[in-house]
């Protein structure tokens, strides 16, 4: 290699090393210049200025530490006119709740800028006009060449040196309504600590990432526990116990699903709620109230297991009514609260679609099982007793409704039955028919025969005989 070639190679290597650093330095100086050299059309000037790390935003301010008077100008560039902006100070925490905001937007009809104050008390604020916790004077706004600005003078407690501040933007809806800001990317990073004396901005990226992770854990844990385990547990108790081969498996499935749903929700759901309340100043919302109500109802269900009477106890039916009612209320509130939480967190449409698909599958399975239950229940023999025949020294009759059904037409036979020895008997039924009951089983509320025979008044041999849960078509009975 010649000497000239070596010299050329050395020069190129130096350029590759120096160009990136030069570009970075130039970019930083350029950004700094965009803040320091900016001139306001209204003649305002500010001693301090900082380029905010995200959302193309800048903050200019003058601050008097002795009096606590803070004069600010918040700028947001590269913004469409159909947008709103907000800048806020949170005197209580680093999160969104409790923030004292300055809001501005451009009226879509008159093109006039509107600026006002709004105190944020929930995760889904409407940003309605309301007073702040500190004094605010001379609030105004401007829009020029894709840049929206808010001007205001705030009176903070004297000798305040560091504040937690937030900034945000979002779409303007029809009718002048302020739409929800995006829940991803830089919109979740637009908060920092501001040193009013030095102008230094300390971002809270790690805090934001941790809080976002906690919120996702909160949503996933509660969706799985309350929104999936709980409905499956209820379905196990309602449908599995009707099959003898699944007894007592259904009971253990029911208990395991309900217990896991409650305690997983308690540890993961309530734990993350407490964490968010401590680190973001979260206040009571409808979502929070329903969540606490669910924990209370779940605890009552656990206590009810200790007070469950025996199957033959006279109060068992009242316990069943209470247990089932509270269980169904928990399911309905759980599903509603999960959708409420999704609307607050707004993780993306995919999460809501996924959970909706799961719930629809569970609901479809429940509908199929209800149809099968209905068919089995109404295609058999129901023998409702007028009194409890299992009581000692008691004589009572059984009012029987024999139902033949194929979902197109139905035939009813009514008759009474007095025997208590389990051997059955023969009784007259409505329409001149006679019913022969063979080998019935007597329970507290129903008499279930193993075989019954129908005698027609017009024919001498029996019309037909069959098991109560496998009746023939109605056309054969009426032939």
Token output for 306: 């200790």
CA distance to 12, 334, 352, 425, per residue, from 222 (Å): 59, 9, 14, 57
For the segment 237-253, the average pLDDT, to the nearest whole number, is 84
Q: Is the peptide bond before 248 cis (omega within 30 degrees of 0)?
A: yes
pLDDT for residue 311: 77
pLDDT for residue 437: 54
CA-to-CA distance for 217 and 214, rounded, in angstroms?
A: 5
**pLDDT band at residue 278 under the 50/70/90 scheme:** low
Contact by Cβ (8 Å): 193, 164: yes
Task: Give the model confidence (pLDDT) of 329-368 as tens digits.
Answer: 999 999 999 998 888 776 777 888 999 999 999 999 999 9
pLDDT for residue 100: 92
Helix (H) or strand (E) holding 36, with range, is helix 3-36
**pLDDT band at residue 242 under the 50/70/90 scheme:** confident
pLDDT higher at 280 or 463: 280
Contact by Cβ (8 Å): 126, 86: no
CA-to-CA distance for 130 and 179, rounded, in angstroms?
A: 18
**How many C-beta neighbours within 10 Å does residue 256 have?**
14
Task: Give the model confidence (pLDDT) of 151-190 as tens digits.
Answer: 999 999 888 989 999 999 998 888 778 887 876 677 778 8
For the segment 281-290, the average pLDDT, to the nearest whole number, is 71
Shortest CA distance to 181 belongs to which of 244, 120, 137?
Answer: 120
For the segment 88-105, the average pLDDT, to the nearest whole number, is 87
Task: Give the model confidence (pLDDT) of 393-447 as tens digits.
Answer: 333 333 344 443 333 333 444 444 444 444 455 555 545 555 555 544 444 444 4
For the segment 379-384, the average pLDDT, to the nearest whole number, is 41
What is the set of domains in the chain, with CATH numbers?
Answer: 48-203 (2.60.40.1210), 207-378 (1.20.120.1770), 381-478 (no CATH)
Task: Give the model confidence (pLDDT) of 186-220 as tens digits.
Answer: 777 888 889 888 877 776 554 556 666 777 888 88
Residues in contact with 21: Cβ distance below 8 Å, sequence separation at least 6, in sequence order: none
For the segment 62-87, the average pLDDT, to the nearest whole number, is 91
> What's the pTM value of the predicted model, to 2 decimals?
0.50
Shortest CA distance to 319 belongs to which of 329, 309, 327?
Answer: 309
CA-to-CA distance for 400 and 410, rounded, in angstroms?
A: 15
Beta bridge partners of 116: 103
pLDDT for residue 98: 85
Shortest CA distance to 266 belongs to which of 305, 246, 234, 296?
Answer: 296
**pLDDT band at residue 392 under the 50/70/90 scheme:** very low
Which of 23-37, 209-223, 272-286, 378-392 is the least confident region? 378-392
pLDDT higher at 449 or 214: 214
Q: What angle do CA 169, 217, 345 make, to 5 degrees?
A: 25
pLDDT for residue 27: 33
pLDDT for residue 365: 92
Q: Pairing mode, if any, of strands 147-155 and 69-76?
A: antiparallel
Query: Chain-wide mean pLDDT for the chain?
Result: 73
Q: Is the pLDDT of residue 17 over 70?
A: no
Kindly state the percentage of the chain with pLDDT values over 90.
21
């Amino acid at each position: 290699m010649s000497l000239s070639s070596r010299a050329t190679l050395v020069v190129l290597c130096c350029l590759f090393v120096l160009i990136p650093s030069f570009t970075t330095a130039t970019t930083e100086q350029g950004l700094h210049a965009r803040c320091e050299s900016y001139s306001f059309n209204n003649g305002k000037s500010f001693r301090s200025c900082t380029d905010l790390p995200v959302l193309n935003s800048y903050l200019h301010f003058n601050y008097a530490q002795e009096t606590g008077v803070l004069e600010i100008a918040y700028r947001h560039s590269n913004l469409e006119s159909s947008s709103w902006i907000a800048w806020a100070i949170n005197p209580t925490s680093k999160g969104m709740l409790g923030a004292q905001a300055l809001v501005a937007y451009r009226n879509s009809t008159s093109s006039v800028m509107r600026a006002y104050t709004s105190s944020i008390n929930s995760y889904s604020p409407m940003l309605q006009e309301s007073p702040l916790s500190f004094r605010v004077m001379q609030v105004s706004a401007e829009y020029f060449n894709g840049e929206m600005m808010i001007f205001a003078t705030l009176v903070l407690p004297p000798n305040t040196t560091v504040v937690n501040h937030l900034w945000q933007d979002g779409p303007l809806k029809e009718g002048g309504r302020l739409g929800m800001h995006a829940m991803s990317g830089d919109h979740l990073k637009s908060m920092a600590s501001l040193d009013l004396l030095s102008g230094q901005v300390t971002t809270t990226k790690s805090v934001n990432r941790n809080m976002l992770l906690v919120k996702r854990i909160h949503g996933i844990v509660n969706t799985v526990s309350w929104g999936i385990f709980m409905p499956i547990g209820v379905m196990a108790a309602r449908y599995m116990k009707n099959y003898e081969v699944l007894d007592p498996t259904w009971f253990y499935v029911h208990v395991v699903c309900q217990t896991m749903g409650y305690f997983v929700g308690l540890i993961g759901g309530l734990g993350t709620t407490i964490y968010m309340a401590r680190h973001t100043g979260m206040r009571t919302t409808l979502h929070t109230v329903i969540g606490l109500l669910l924990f209370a109802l779940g605890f009552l269900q656990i206590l009810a297991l200790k007070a469950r009477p025996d199957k033959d106890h006279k109060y068992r039916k009242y316990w069943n009514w209470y247990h089932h009612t509270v269980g169904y209320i928990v399911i309905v509130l759980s599903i509603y609260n999960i959708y409420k939480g999704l609307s607050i967190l707004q993780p993306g449409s995919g999460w809501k679609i996924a959970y909706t698909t799961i719930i629809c599958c569970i609901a479809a399975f429940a509908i199929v099982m209800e149809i099968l239950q209905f068919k089995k229940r109404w295609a058999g023999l129901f023998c409702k007793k007028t009194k409890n025949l299992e009581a000692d020294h008691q004589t009572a009759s059984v009012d029987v409704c024999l139902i033949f059904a194929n979902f197109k037409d139905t035939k009813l036979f009514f008759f009474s039955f007095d025997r208590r020895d389990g051997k059955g008997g023969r009784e007259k039924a409505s329409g001149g028919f006679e019913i022969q009951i063979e080998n019935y089983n007597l329970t507290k509320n129903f008499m279930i025969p193993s075989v019954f025979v129908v005698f027609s008044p017009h024919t001498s041999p029996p019309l037909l005989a069959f098991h109560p849960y496998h009746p023939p078509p109605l056309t054969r009975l009426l032939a």
